[in-house]
Amino acid sequence: MECKVCCDSELKDIAIGFSVILSSKKYRSVTVFCGNLKDIKRRIRLTRAVYKRGSGDARYGAVIVSIGRPNYREREYIKVCKKAKKSPEKYWINRVIL
């Protein structure tokens, strides 16, 4: 399988996403917008998957990376930012575990 990462800037974006999602256990999903923030065509989403196995509090986790175009919620977020005449943040914390 061939990995399609087009440039070093996307690798830096993935590193930003990992540093954000690993900074706190409360973050479940983080979206990092790639390229020019005024015209966003790609995004990288990092999602924390937590599995509980056996009895007790033992938890095993993984981080799932998906690269692609923004979905409906992310496009709505971008539209709201454009209407407010602000550029969206580089990374967006989608879900928080309470």
pLDDT tens profile 16-52: 888 888 887 788 888 888 877 777 888 888 888 877 7
pLDDT value at 90 more than 70: yes
Helix (H) or strand (E) holding 91: strand 91-96
Q: How high is the pLDDT of residue 1?
A: 44
46-55 b/e (C-beta count within 10 Å ≥ 16 → b)? bbbeeeeeee
Sketch the domain layout of the chain as residue ranges: 8-96
> Once rounded to an integer, what is the mean pLDDT over residues 49-61?
68
State which amino acid sits at residue 19. S
Greater confidence, 21 or 8? 21
pTM recorded for the entire structure: 0.72
Helix, strand, coil proportions of the chain in percent (round to 5)? 25, 35, 40
What pLDDT, on the 0 to 100 scale, is given for residue 95?
65
Task: Using the structure block, give the residue that is written with the tokens 């209407």.
Answer: 83
